[in-house]
Structure 1
Amino acid sequence: MPDTTRPLRKLGFLTIGLFDPADPAAGHESTLQIIELGERLGFDSAWLRHRHLQFGISSPIAMMAAAGQRTSRIEIGTAVTPLGWENPLRLAEDLATVDLLAGGRINPGLSVGEPMHYDTVKHELYPDSWEVEDFSYARVERLARLVAGEPVRDFSGRQGVVEEFSSRVEPHSPGLRQRLWYGAGSRKSAVWAGANGFNLLSSSVIFPESDQAPDFARIQQSQIRAYREAAAASAPEHGPVRVSQGLVVIPTDSASSDQREKYQRYVDQRLPRTRAPQGPKGMLFAPDLIGTSDEIAEQLYAHAGFQEVDEVAFALPFSFDHEDYVQILTDIAEKLGPALGWTPSGVGQDVP
């Protein structure tokens, strides 16, 4: 059995929220039910991917608002929201509103960079400014300032009989700034996140340095350590930082024989891409972990990246069915989590 002297402190899961374009409401409802199940099973967090012009969740902010009203304890986050698609001021308003409605449980995960397939959408997304839009770290820095309540303008106060104006984004949700995460895949972005007071989301995709051997676990470990060093050296007002790892795990303890075959086909199809760097940036993908919970736990304890964290957001496979996710989440909560030393939160409490 794995060594559990360093127990896993927080257990979460990540879903893309796929839906059938002929019946998108059903897919969104399925995702909400999965989050409700996660709370009943004692998971600490549920995370939503952000997909635009695809058949996955395009508006996780709206989904978090709905999930927040159907749960009472579980933290809800995005992993991640690409800011190239967003107006930081409007996003700050929405995030604060949802966070207040959820009682301070929102964990926005963010990234920067040019939107995916930008040339195909830039004229609709930014028809008058696509050539000059800034997709650098400055965009996420601006969001962080707005979420923190820093002034937007000098103008404020009463105008007329009833109009009252603020100089900052309203509503303001205290504590939300400390719950902003950055999805970093490179050492540079990990160091930037640490130096600028963001928590770190490290996923199953990373970008190695040119002089690093293509060993996913070791590279992830080095990025997390570089992040912690940068965070420790940054301004103290940023407060304590959190690091979450997001690998794909598929426990098969209670799976049917048909499910096991389906899961293994999925893993086998994705395995070749993990054997060598991919694309011009040399992306490295982590292999999916499949097997009994005890087998997966042993692999995780031997994983250099996992050794650096005490919380995870295990990614659910993209294309499975609702009943598959129920089985996987149940096995994660009832078997894999305890094998990693995790204790469920709030099990047995009523869910609204």
Structure 2
Amino acid sequence: MPPTSKPLRKLGFLTIGLFDGADPRRGHETTLDIIALGERLGFDSAWVRHRHLQYGISSPVAVLAAASQRTSRIELGTAVIPLGWENPLRLAEDLATVDILSGGRLNPGVSIGPPMHYDRVKQALYPETADVEDFSYERVRRLLDAVRGEAVTDFGGVEGFEVYSDRVQPHAEGLGQRMWYGGGSLRSARWAGEHGMNFLTSSVVKAEESEDFAEIQLSHIRTFRSHHPDGDRARVSQGLVVIPTDSASPEQRTKYQEYARKRAPRTATPQGPARMMFAPDLVGSSAEIAERLHAHPAFQQVDEVAFALPFTFAHDDYVQILTDMATRLGPALGWRPTTAPGQPAG
């Protein structure tokens, strides 16, 4: 079928960065290797998830600081940092520092809400203020103001030999325009648009107006852009679980199909009290996946993606998936690598 969507302009991927608790360095190094591979393959962006008190990346800003020194071109993003765990002022300092070190390649994605299992962690996280912490959009606004160079204190100048600034230092010019909100509801989409952020829409959305995933995601994109100063030019990145099998071994294909089969039941109806809808995982040849994406109403509205890698696969699986994405699926979607892919990864 002929494409019904615009050519894909930016191709990215998302990894959770799992590690073995007995050998955490190896897992973190593997994540850095995957990001470096992405750059060699020509990907435009690499994104990391955020996990607390689990065996995944707990400090994405630190990981991306390391990645910034092993890469030179690929954009580096977080999808997403849950701000309930963060002090917005301190996070702004960290983000600005890494953006400076990366040469302006950082794309921080954030979200709001109480930390997961808050009743079990609040005494460790906020022992004196747990019951009065504000986990609303106000936390994002504070971060945005700090990143964008608004004054955070009424004091500035010289005190003795010390020089003080009234805004976060270092100030990373342009970082404020590269802030993303990871949203799965109409309210989040509207708020992100009204505050001039970019919008990350993933494989999880809230069933508010429909029980069709693609229709829901499309409504979020339209709501976001209708409230954004840039209108239809406002940036949206779609993140679905996409597994091309072109160069996969028979064993890998079987594993991928079984992974998707086990996760399929949750895609049929809204899940839980929040009525969350999950997108089906896309498994198949690049041609098959491209056809399904071209027919996807929400994909037709975007020109950049951050395809999510499955959480529990082996390193060799990720190499195969990323290689097929860059060399087969991306071109089938109209994308061209920023730089020519290097030698085949092994």
- TM-score class, shorter-chain normalisation, is over 0.9
Residues 95-244 of structure 1 correspond to what in structure 2 (within 5 A)?
95-160=95-160, 162-209=161-208, 212-232=209-229, 241-244=234-237
Deviation (angstroms), 1:158: 1.1
Residue number in structure 1 paired with 2:286: 293
CA distance in 2, matches of 1:240, 1:295: 29
Question: What amino acid is the match of 1:165?
Answer: Y
- The residue correspondences of 1:59-70 to structure 2 (distance < 5 A) are 59-70=59-70
1:267/1:5 CA distance change after superposition, 3 Å: closer
Supply the distance in 2 between the matched residues of 1:3 and 1:220 (Cα, whole angstroms). Answer: 19
Question: Quick one: structure 1 residues 306 and 240, their matched pair in 2 at CA, closer, same or farther if it must change by over 3 Å?
Answer: closer
Other-structure match for 2:89: 89
Q: Is the 8 A contact 2:4 2:300 kept in 1?
A: no
Question: Is the 1:149–1:169 Cα contact (8 Å) retained in structure 2?
Answer: yes
The CA deviation string for residues 218-276 of structure 1, in whole angstroms up to 9 with x for no partner, is 11011101111011488xxxx96310000000000000011011111110110001011
Select which of 239, 257, 261 maps to 1:264. 257
* CA deviation profile, 1:35-69 (whole Å, cap 9, x unmatched): 00000000000000000000000000001100000
Q: Any stretches of 5+ residues in structure 2 without a counterpart?
A: none
Query: Residues 253 and 272 (structure 1 numbering): CA distance in 2 closer, same or farther, change over 3 Å?
Result: same
Task: Determine the structure 2 residue equivalent to 1:247.
Answer: 240
TM-score in terms of structure 1 length: 0.95
Does 1:49 find its partner at 2:63?
Answer: no
After TM superposition, what 4+ stretches of structure 1 lie above 4 angstroms from structure 2?
none
Q: How many residues align?
A: 343
Give 2:306's match in structure 1, choosing from 313, 317, 321.
Answer: 313
Q: Deviations over 1:178-201 (max 9, x none)?
A: 000000100111011001111000
Q: Distance in 2 between matches of 1:129 and 1:172?
A: 29
| Mapped partners of 1:6, 1:242: distance in 2 | 14
1:283 aligned to 2:276?
A: yes
Secondary structure, in 3 states, of the residue corresponding to 1:221? helix
Displacement after TM superposition at 1:90 (Å): 0.5
- For residues 44 and 254 of structure 1, the distance between their equivalents in structure 2, rounded to whole angstroms, comes to 22
Q: Residues 248 and 348 (structure 1 numbering): CA distance in 2 closer, same or farther, change over 3 Å?
A: closer
CA shift in 2, pair 1:348/1:186, >3 Å: closer
String of CA shifts for 1:166-217, please: whole Å, max 9, x gaps: 11111100000000000010011101100111100000000021xx231000
Amino acid at match of 2:224: Y
TM-score norm. by structure 2 comes to 0.97
For residues 290 and 309 of structure 2, the distance between their equivalents in structure 1, rounded to whole angstroms, comes to: 16
Matches within 5 A, 1:14-53: 14-53=14-53
Q: In structure 2, what is the Cα distance between the partners aligned to 1:19 and 1:220?
A: 32
- The answer to whether the 8 Å contact 1:202/1:243 transfers is yes
Note the C-alpha offset of 1:148. 0.6
Equivalent position SS for 1:14: strand
Q: Is the 8 A contact 1:249 1:288 kept in 2?
A: yes
| CA contact 1:195–1:233 (8 Å) conserved in 2 | no
Whole-angstrom distance in 2 between the partners of 1:14 and 1:84:
21
TM-aligned CA deviation for residue 329 of structure 1: 0.1
Residue 348 and residue 333 in structure 1: after superposition, are their counterparts in 2 closer, same or farther (change >3 A)? closer
Q: Please name the residue that 1:342 is paired with.
A: 335
Distance (Å, rounded) in 1 between the aligned partners of 2:39 and 2:81: 23
Q: 1:13 to 1:213 in 2, by over 3 A?
A: same
**Percent of aligned positions that are identical:** 67
Q: Distance in 2 between matches of 1:21 and 1:233?
A: 45
**Partner AA of 1:188 in structure 2:** R
Q: For structure 1, list consecutive stretches of 5 or more residues without a partner in the other structure.
A: none
Report the counterpart of residue 7 of structure 1 in structure 2: 7
Partner-residue secondary structure (3-state), 1:231: coil
How big is the shift at 1:22?
1.0
For 1:92 and 1:157, locate their aligned partners in 2 and report how far apart those are by CA, in whole Å.
21
Paired AA for residue 46 in structure 2: A
Residues 349, 287 of structure 1: CA spacing in aligned structure 2 closer, same or farther, 3 A cutoff? closer
TM-fit CA distance, 1:154: 1.4
CA distance in structure 1 between the partners assigned to 2:154 and 2:140 by the alignment: 22
Which amino acid counterpart does residue 216 of structure 1 have in structure 2? F
